[in-house]
Copies of this chain bind each other. A is one copy, B any other.
Amino acid sequence: MPEQSTGPRPTLEAVAARAGVSRATASRVVNGGAGVRPPLVEKVRKAVDELGYVPNHAARTLVTRRNGAVAVIIAEPEFRVFSDPFFEQQVRGISRELTAHDAQLVLLWVEGPGDHDRIARYLGGGHVDGALAFSLHNDDALPAVIDRTRIPVVFGGRPSPGTSPAVPFVDCDNRGGAREAVRHLVDLGRRTIAHISGPQDQTSALDRIHGYRDVLVDADPALLCQGDFTEESGARAMAELLDRRPDVDGVFVANDLMASGALLTLRERGVRVPEDVAVVGFDDMDSVVRRTSPSLTTVHQDIEGMGRLMVKLLMRLLEGTGPEIPPSVITPTSLVRRDSA
Protein backbone atom coordinates (compact mmCIF):
# COMPACT_ATOMS: atom_id res chain seq x y z
CA MET A 1 0.00 0.00 0.00
CA PRO A 2 1.65 3.25 -1.10
CA GLU A 3 2.01 5.84 1.56
CA GLN A 4 -0.35 8.77 1.38
CA SER A 5 2.61 11.03 0.92
CA THR A 6 1.40 14.54 1.00
CA GLY A 7 4.52 16.28 -0.22
CA PRO A 8 6.10 16.16 -3.64
CA ARG A 9 6.44 12.90 -5.46
CA PRO A 10 9.32 10.75 -4.25
CA THR A 11 12.40 10.60 -6.45
CA LEU A 12 14.76 7.78 -7.17
CA GLU A 13 17.07 9.37 -4.65
CA ALA A 14 14.48 8.83 -1.94
CA VAL A 15 13.97 5.23 -2.94
CA ALA A 16 17.70 4.63 -2.91
CA ALA A 17 18.05 6.21 0.51
CA ARG A 18 15.25 4.17 1.95
CA ALA A 19 16.58 0.95 0.46
CA GLY A 20 20.10 1.79 1.60
CA VAL A 21 21.57 1.58 -1.88
CA SER A 22 22.86 4.05 -4.42
CA ARG A 23 20.70 5.82 -6.95
CA ALA A 24 22.35 3.78 -9.69
CA THR A 25 21.32 0.50 -8.16
CA ALA A 26 17.82 1.74 -7.51
CA SER A 27 17.62 2.80 -11.15
CA ARG A 28 18.75 -0.63 -12.27
CA VAL A 29 16.05 -2.30 -10.24
CA VAL A 30 13.37 0.03 -11.48
CA ASN A 31 14.43 -0.77 -15.02
CA GLY A 32 14.26 -4.50 -14.70
CA GLY A 33 16.83 -5.24 -12.08
CA ALA A 34 19.34 -7.01 -14.31
CA GLY A 35 22.73 -7.42 -12.67
CA VAL A 36 21.57 -6.67 -9.17
CA ARG A 37 21.72 -9.27 -6.43
CA PRO A 38 18.30 -10.56 -5.36
CA PRO A 39 18.38 -9.29 -1.78
CA LEU A 40 19.05 -5.74 -2.97
CA VAL A 41 16.38 -6.03 -5.63
CA GLU A 42 13.95 -6.99 -2.92
CA LYS A 43 14.90 -4.04 -0.74
CA VAL A 44 14.54 -1.58 -3.56
CA ARG A 45 11.22 -3.04 -4.65
CA LYS A 46 9.96 -2.68 -1.13
CA ALA A 47 11.09 0.93 -0.95
CA VAL A 48 9.38 1.65 -4.25
CA ASP A 49 6.13 0.22 -2.95
CA GLU A 50 6.28 1.96 0.37
CA LEU A 51 7.04 5.31 -1.16
CA GLY A 52 4.66 4.86 -4.05
CA TYR A 53 7.47 5.79 -6.37
CA VAL A 54 6.69 6.45 -10.01
CA PRO A 55 9.57 7.32 -12.34
CA ASN A 56 9.59 10.82 -13.72
CA HIS A 57 8.97 10.45 -17.37
CA ALA A 58 10.51 13.74 -18.45
CA ALA A 59 13.78 13.06 -16.68
CA ARG A 60 14.00 9.64 -18.22
CA THR A 61 13.21 10.93 -21.69
CA LEU A 62 15.80 13.66 -21.31
CA VAL A 63 18.57 11.15 -21.02
CA THR A 64 17.32 8.20 -23.01
CA ARG A 65 16.02 10.25 -25.88
CA ARG A 66 13.03 8.02 -26.06
CA ASN A 67 9.67 8.98 -24.79
CA GLY A 68 7.48 6.00 -25.40
CA ALA A 69 4.83 7.86 -27.29
CA VAL A 70 3.63 7.50 -30.81
CA ALA A 71 1.54 10.01 -32.70
CA VAL A 72 -1.50 8.88 -34.59
CA ILE A 73 -2.31 11.43 -37.19
CA ILE A 74 -5.91 11.63 -38.13
CA ALA A 75 -6.68 13.84 -41.06
CA GLU A 76 -10.20 14.89 -41.54
CA PRO A 77 -10.74 15.79 -45.14
CA GLU A 78 -14.37 16.45 -45.78
CA PHE A 79 -16.59 14.51 -43.52
CA ARG A 80 -16.59 11.95 -40.81
CA VAL A 81 -13.42 10.04 -40.45
CA PHE A 82 -13.47 9.24 -36.85
CA SER A 83 -16.95 7.90 -36.71
CA ASP A 84 -16.00 5.65 -39.59
CA PRO A 85 -16.06 2.13 -38.20
CA PHE A 86 -13.05 1.34 -40.33
CA PHE A 87 -10.99 3.87 -38.49
CA GLU A 88 -12.36 2.88 -35.19
CA GLN A 89 -11.22 -0.69 -35.69
CA GLN A 90 -7.84 0.33 -36.97
CA VAL A 91 -7.25 2.76 -34.13
CA ARG A 92 -8.37 0.13 -31.70
CA GLY A 93 -5.77 -2.25 -33.07
CA ILE A 94 -3.17 0.45 -32.86
CA SER A 95 -4.11 1.31 -29.32
CA ARG A 96 -3.96 -2.29 -28.19
CA GLU A 97 -0.62 -2.98 -29.77
CA LEU A 98 0.81 0.26 -28.46
CA THR A 99 -0.30 -0.67 -24.98
CA ALA A 100 1.40 -4.02 -25.38
CA HIS A 101 4.58 -2.14 -26.19
CA ASP A 102 4.06 0.17 -23.24
CA ALA A 103 3.80 3.12 -25.56
CA GLN A 104 1.32 5.93 -25.51
CA LEU A 105 -0.97 7.11 -28.23
CA VAL A 106 -0.88 10.81 -28.89
CA LEU A 107 -3.68 11.88 -31.14
CA LEU A 108 -3.00 14.55 -33.69
CA TRP A 109 -6.14 15.71 -35.34
CA VAL A 110 -5.47 17.53 -38.54
CA GLU A 111 -8.28 19.67 -39.79
CA GLY A 112 -6.63 21.15 -42.81
CA PRO A 113 -3.44 22.44 -44.39
CA GLY A 114 -3.48 25.23 -41.81
CA ASP A 115 -2.54 22.64 -39.22
CA HIS A 116 0.42 21.27 -41.12
CA ASP A 117 2.81 23.70 -39.57
CA ARG A 118 1.75 22.86 -36.07
CA ILE A 119 1.96 19.14 -36.80
CA ALA A 120 5.40 19.44 -38.30
CA ARG A 121 6.61 21.39 -35.31
CA TYR A 122 5.17 18.84 -32.97
CA LEU A 123 6.62 15.84 -34.74
CA GLY A 124 9.95 17.56 -35.15
CA GLY A 125 10.03 18.58 -31.48
CA GLY A 126 10.80 15.12 -30.25
CA HIS A 127 7.50 14.76 -28.46
CA VAL A 128 6.98 11.36 -29.98
CA ASP A 129 9.24 8.57 -31.15
CA GLY A 130 7.35 7.95 -34.33
CA ALA A 131 4.11 8.48 -36.13
CA LEU A 132 1.31 6.54 -37.68
CA ALA A 133 -0.69 8.10 -40.46
CA PHE A 134 -3.29 7.15 -42.98
CA SER A 135 -3.13 7.81 -46.64
CA LEU A 136 -6.45 9.19 -47.59
CA HIS A 137 -6.35 11.25 -50.70
CA ASN A 138 -3.83 11.24 -53.40
CA ASP A 139 -3.54 14.98 -53.40
CA ASP A 140 -2.94 15.20 -49.69
CA ALA A 141 0.14 17.19 -48.80
CA LEU A 142 0.35 15.69 -45.35
CA PRO A 143 2.59 12.71 -46.16
CA ALA A 144 5.19 15.09 -47.52
CA VAL A 145 4.93 17.24 -44.42
CA ILE A 146 5.44 14.24 -42.19
CA ASP A 147 8.28 12.94 -44.26
CA ARG A 148 10.10 16.22 -43.97
CA THR A 149 10.26 15.90 -40.20
CA ARG A 150 12.42 12.81 -40.69
CA ILE A 151 10.56 11.07 -37.95
CA PRO A 152 9.91 7.35 -38.40
CA VAL A 153 6.47 6.86 -39.82
CA VAL A 154 4.26 4.03 -41.01
CA PHE A 155 1.25 4.55 -43.18
CA GLY A 156 -2.06 2.81 -43.11
CA GLY A 157 -3.08 2.23 -46.67
CA ARG A 158 -0.75 2.42 -49.62
CA PRO A 159 0.24 6.01 -50.28
CA SER A 160 -0.20 7.24 -53.79
CA PRO A 161 2.83 7.03 -56.08
CA GLY A 162 3.36 10.76 -55.85
CA THR A 163 4.28 10.50 -52.20
CA SER A 164 7.77 10.37 -50.79
CA PRO A 165 9.87 7.47 -52.05
CA ALA A 166 9.92 4.62 -49.60
CA VAL A 167 7.50 4.98 -46.75
CA PRO A 168 6.59 1.69 -45.16
CA PHE A 169 2.89 1.03 -45.10
CA VAL A 170 0.36 -1.61 -44.21
CA ASP A 171 -2.46 -2.31 -46.57
CA CYS A 172 -4.67 -5.23 -47.41
CA ASP A 173 -4.55 -6.92 -50.74
CA ASN A 174 -7.20 -4.74 -52.31
CA ARG A 175 -6.53 -5.90 -55.81
CA GLY A 176 -6.39 -9.56 -54.96
CA GLY A 177 -9.50 -9.32 -52.84
CA ALA A 178 -11.35 -7.61 -55.65
CA ARG A 179 -10.24 -10.32 -58.05
CA GLU A 180 -11.51 -13.00 -55.73
CA ALA A 181 -14.84 -11.25 -55.39
CA VAL A 182 -15.32 -10.91 -59.12
CA ARG A 183 -14.17 -14.45 -59.79
CA HIS A 184 -16.73 -15.64 -57.33
CA LEU A 185 -19.43 -13.87 -59.32
CA VAL A 186 -18.08 -15.42 -62.49
CA ASP A 187 -18.06 -18.86 -60.88
CA LEU A 188 -21.67 -18.28 -59.97
CA GLY A 189 -22.34 -18.06 -63.67
CA ARG A 190 -22.93 -14.33 -63.79
CA ARG A 191 -22.25 -12.84 -67.18
CA THR A 192 -22.90 -9.14 -66.76
CA ILE A 193 -20.91 -8.07 -63.76
CA ALA A 194 -20.82 -4.43 -62.76
CA HIS A 195 -18.58 -2.58 -60.33
CA ILE A 196 -19.48 0.26 -58.04
CA SER A 197 -16.19 1.88 -57.21
CA GLY A 198 -14.95 4.28 -54.58
CA PRO A 199 -13.49 7.73 -55.20
CA GLN A 200 -10.66 7.60 -57.72
CA ASP A 201 -8.26 9.55 -55.59
CA GLN A 202 -7.83 6.76 -53.08
CA THR A 203 -5.46 3.96 -53.84
CA SER A 204 -7.71 1.38 -52.23
CA ALA A 205 -10.56 2.27 -54.57
CA LEU A 206 -8.22 2.27 -57.52
CA ASP A 207 -6.76 -1.09 -56.60
CA ARG A 208 -10.20 -2.60 -56.34
CA ILE A 209 -11.10 -1.34 -59.78
CA HIS A 210 -7.90 -2.88 -61.09
CA GLY A 211 -8.80 -6.17 -59.49
CA TYR A 212 -12.17 -6.03 -61.20
CA ARG A 213 -10.55 -5.33 -64.55
CA ASP A 214 -7.99 -8.07 -64.02
CA VAL A 215 -10.78 -10.61 -64.20
CA LEU A 216 -13.11 -8.82 -66.58
CA VAL A 217 -10.58 -7.51 -69.02
CA ASP A 218 -13.00 -6.11 -71.54
CA ALA A 219 -16.01 -5.25 -69.46
CA ASP A 220 -18.41 -2.67 -70.82
CA PRO A 221 -17.41 0.73 -69.37
CA ALA A 222 -21.09 1.28 -68.71
CA LEU A 223 -20.81 -1.38 -66.04
CA LEU A 224 -18.49 0.82 -63.99
CA CYS A 225 -20.10 3.37 -61.75
CA GLN A 226 -18.37 5.53 -59.19
CA GLY A 227 -19.53 6.21 -55.67
CA ASP A 228 -17.89 7.88 -52.70
CA PHE A 229 -17.99 5.02 -50.18
CA THR A 230 -21.24 6.25 -48.58
CA GLU A 231 -24.43 4.25 -48.44
CA GLU A 232 -26.37 6.83 -50.42
CA SER A 233 -23.84 6.88 -53.21
CA GLY A 234 -24.10 3.10 -53.44
CA ALA A 235 -27.86 3.31 -53.76
CA ARG A 236 -27.56 5.95 -56.44
CA ALA A 237 -24.91 4.07 -58.36
CA MET A 238 -26.99 0.90 -58.33
CA ALA A 239 -29.97 2.78 -59.73
CA GLU A 240 -27.86 4.19 -62.51
CA LEU A 241 -26.37 0.80 -63.29
CA LEU A 242 -29.85 -0.71 -63.48
CA ASP A 243 -30.90 2.01 -65.89
CA ARG A 244 -27.83 1.63 -68.06
CA ARG A 245 -27.73 -2.13 -68.15
CA PRO A 246 -30.98 -3.76 -67.02
CA ASP A 247 -29.41 -7.11 -67.77
CA VAL A 248 -26.83 -6.77 -65.01
CA ASP A 249 -26.75 -9.96 -62.94
CA GLY A 250 -23.81 -9.38 -60.62
CA VAL A 251 -22.25 -6.42 -58.83
CA PHE A 252 -18.99 -6.10 -57.04
CA VAL A 253 -19.20 -3.08 -54.76
CA ALA A 254 -16.02 -1.48 -53.49
CA ASN A 255 -17.17 -1.35 -49.86
CA ASP A 256 -19.90 -2.70 -47.64
CA LEU A 257 -21.58 0.60 -46.97
CA MET A 258 -22.17 1.19 -50.66
CA ALA A 259 -23.19 -2.44 -51.06
CA SER A 260 -25.82 -1.88 -48.42
CA GLY A 261 -27.11 1.08 -50.40
CA ALA A 262 -27.13 -0.99 -53.57
CA LEU A 263 -29.13 -3.69 -51.80
CA LEU A 264 -31.68 -1.07 -50.80
CA THR A 265 -32.10 0.09 -54.38
CA LEU A 266 -32.40 -3.47 -55.63
CA ARG A 267 -35.11 -4.23 -53.15
CA GLU A 268 -36.92 -1.04 -54.00
CA ARG A 269 -36.94 -2.00 -57.64
CA GLY A 270 -38.13 -5.46 -56.89
CA VAL A 271 -34.94 -7.11 -58.05
CA ARG A 272 -34.24 -10.33 -56.18
CA VAL A 273 -30.87 -10.85 -54.54
CA PRO A 274 -29.08 -13.10 -55.26
CA GLU A 275 -31.43 -14.71 -57.79
CA ASP A 276 -31.52 -11.81 -60.24
CA VAL A 277 -28.48 -9.90 -59.17
CA ALA A 278 -25.69 -11.24 -56.96
CA VAL A 279 -23.89 -8.68 -54.79
CA VAL A 280 -20.44 -8.84 -53.26
CA GLY A 281 -19.06 -6.13 -51.00
CA PHE A 282 -15.67 -5.34 -49.53
CA ASP A 283 -14.47 -4.81 -45.93
CA ASP A 284 -16.67 -7.25 -44.03
CA MET A 285 -17.66 -4.42 -41.75
CA ASP A 286 -19.50 -5.93 -38.86
CA SER A 287 -21.90 -3.11 -38.30
CA VAL A 288 -23.01 -3.14 -41.93
CA VAL A 289 -22.91 -6.79 -42.79
CA ARG A 290 -25.05 -7.79 -39.89
CA ARG A 291 -28.01 -5.68 -40.82
CA THR A 292 -28.32 -6.09 -44.59
CA SER A 293 -30.83 -8.44 -46.03
CA PRO A 294 -29.92 -10.71 -47.53
CA SER A 295 -26.74 -10.96 -45.52
CA LEU A 296 -23.84 -9.64 -47.50
CA THR A 297 -21.20 -11.75 -49.19
CA THR A 298 -18.06 -9.70 -48.92
CA VAL A 299 -14.29 -9.59 -48.90
CA HIS A 300 -12.93 -9.79 -45.41
CA GLN A 301 -9.91 -7.88 -44.23
CA ASP A 302 -8.44 -7.87 -40.77
CA ILE A 303 -8.64 -4.19 -40.00
CA GLU A 304 -7.67 -4.36 -36.37
CA GLY A 305 -4.79 -6.63 -37.29
CA MET A 306 -3.63 -4.05 -39.79
CA GLY A 307 -3.60 -1.47 -37.05
CA ARG A 308 -1.49 -3.73 -34.88
CA LEU A 309 0.79 -4.41 -37.79
CA MET A 310 1.36 -0.70 -38.28
CA VAL A 311 2.60 -0.46 -34.73
CA LYS A 312 4.80 -3.52 -35.07
CA LEU A 313 6.38 -2.09 -38.18
CA LEU A 314 6.97 1.22 -36.47
CA MET A 315 8.55 -0.48 -33.48
CA ARG A 316 10.87 -2.33 -35.78
CA LEU A 317 11.75 0.96 -37.41
CA LEU A 318 12.45 2.53 -34.03
CA GLU A 319 14.54 -0.28 -32.70
CA GLY A 320 16.12 -0.96 -36.04
CA THR A 321 19.81 -0.35 -36.34
CA GLY A 322 20.63 1.95 -39.17
CA PRO A 323 18.31 3.61 -41.61
CA GLU A 324 17.11 0.39 -43.15
CA ILE A 325 13.55 0.63 -44.33
CA PRO A 326 11.42 -2.32 -43.31
CA PRO A 327 9.30 -3.80 -46.02
CA SER A 328 5.69 -2.78 -46.25
CA VAL A 329 3.09 -5.37 -45.50
CA ILE A 330 0.18 -6.43 -47.63
CA THR A 331 -2.26 -8.45 -45.59
CA PRO A 332 -4.36 -11.12 -47.20
CA THR A 333 -8.09 -10.87 -47.73
CA SER A 334 -10.64 -13.64 -47.88
CA LEU A 335 -14.06 -13.97 -49.37
CA VAL A 336 -16.83 -14.50 -46.86
CA ARG A 337 -19.81 -16.16 -48.51
CA ARG A 338 -23.16 -15.20 -47.16
CA ASP A 339 -26.53 -14.91 -48.89
CA SER A 340 -26.13 -12.04 -51.32
CA ALA A 341 -23.93 -14.01 -53.73
Set B67, B84, B91, B105: member contacting A58, Cβ < 8 A: B67
Contacts of A105 in B (CB 8 A): 106-109
A172 to chain B, nearest CB (A): 20
Q: Which of A43-51, A122-130, A215-223, A333-341 lies at the binding interface?
A: A122-130
How near does chain B come to A59, taking the closest CB pair, in angstroms?
5
Known: A58-B62, A62-B56, A88-B82. A104 touches B126 (CB 8 A): no
Q: So how many copies of this chain end up in the complex?
A: 2
Report A220 CB to chain B, min CB distance, Å: 33
Residues of B within 8 A of A83 (CB): 82-85, 88, 287
Distance (whole angstroms) from the CB of A131 to the closest CB of chain B = 13
Inter-chain contacts of A85 with B (CB < 8 A): 80, 83
Nearest B residue to A56 by beta-carbon distance?
B126
A124 to B55, CA, bound (A): 10
A contacts, CB < 8 Å to B? 9, 54-59, 61-62, 67, 69, 72, 80, 82-85, 88, 91-92, 95-96, 99, 104-109, 111, 115, 118, 121-122, 124-127, 287
**A-B CB contact pairs (8 Å), 10 listed:** A54-B125, A57-B61, A57-B126, A59-B62, A80-B88, A83-B88, A92-B109, A105-B106, A105-B107, A107-B107
